[in-house]
Structure 1
Amino acid sequence: MKAVIMYDSAYGNTKSVAEAIAAGLEKSRTVPVSQFHSSDLSIGDLLVVGSPINGWRPTETQPMPFYVKGTEGPLLEGEIKRASSWSYELSASVKAFASRKGTP
């Protein structure tokens, strides 16, 4: 299984968070939403989507469980570390699910 972190970023903050998440996931890469193609994924791959919010609405899709509070302006101290930590939790959850299903 590989992970694809697709993101849209108006000021670079969401890109930074996407890169931090990718750093915590094995076999992962980031891709801007404008460059994403469905052929980038295979059955069983993990897709993480990140989007900034404009007018309290995401630019491309509905928000996922991890989001950055205080989204206007630069990222708050610790947000990148929190994103990276979340990616390790996500990786562990995916591995646990795969082991219950008997897949590598």
Structure 2
Amino acid sequence: MSRSLVVFESMYGNTEAVARAIAEGITAHVPVEVVEVGAAPAEPGDDVALLVVGGPTHAFGMTRPATRQDAAAKAGRATVSQGPGVREWLESLRDRPGTVGAAFDTRVVRPRVPGSAARAIARRLHRRGLTVGDAPHTFWVAGSEGPLLDGELERARAWGAALAAEVAVPAGGAP
């Protein structure tokens, strides 16, 4: 039986909340596991049919060690993700032809600046041979530490359900 895996990087908890909401949408169709990037397996397993990866947008793209340190310093507390981020995890991911991939990020709604971690994640998933069918999704936060805007978790659940419906295989066998 195929399953799905949602891997996230989160500084203040907003991206984690989105990842868990996406998983809630997926679970109606296929089994799902949600994993913080520091605990994500280097080899997700051949039974993973859907790999969803997300993180916050920092400095126009995916986080880097310096932007993660800045986020922790601004918060004055430990961040959710404290080790290597999605960028480093994707570099170590083996090629996965036949796996469906999807990318998401969280971004500050104002000021609206260019760049997107989700687009960068989608490009890297594609380079690893994943089929990235749906456009990268952005979920909006009110400020750098949040909160998420109203309705974003519902939007994440709906997107997760739509993604899972694409890879779900009914009891008869054919999709």
Q: Structure 1 length as normaliser, TM-score? A: 0.81
Secondary structure of 2:154's aligned partner: helix
Identity %: 35
Q: Structure 1 residues 16, 51: closer, same or farther in 2, change over 3 A?
A: same
2:54 aligns with one of 37, 50, 63 = 50
1:87 aligns with one of 160, 171, 174 = 160
Secondary structure of 1:3's aligned partner: strand
What CA deviation, in whole Å up to 9, does each residue of 1:12-64 have, x standing for no partner?
00000000011111210110111111333225521100110112212234515
Select the structure with the greater relative contact order (CA < 8 A; seq sep ≥ 6): 1
> How many Å separate the matches in 2 of 1:30 and 1:48?
9
Q: What aligned pairs does 1:11-26 form with structure 2 within 5 A after superposition?
A: 11-25=12-26, 26=30
Secondary structure of 1:81's aligned partner: helix
Partners of 1:4 and 1:41 within 8 A in 2: no
Q: Structure 2 length as normaliser, TM-score? A: 0.51
Larger radius of gyration: 2
| Paired AA for residue 14 in structure 1 | T
1:35 is aligned to 2:39: yes
Aligned position for 2:139: 68
Show structure 1 runs of 5+ residues with no match: none
Partners of 1:68 and 1:79 within 8 A in 2: yes
> How many Å separate the matches in 1 of 2:19 and 2:151?
14
Q: How many residues align?
A: 100
> How many Å separate the matches in 1 of 2:54 and 2:151?
18
Quote the RMSD (CA, aligned, Å): 2.2
Shift of 1:7: 0.3
Show structure 2 runs of 5+ residues with no match: 64-85, 88-116, 123-135
> How many Å separate the matches in 2 of 1:35 and 1:27?
19
| Paired AA for residue 31 in structure 1 | V
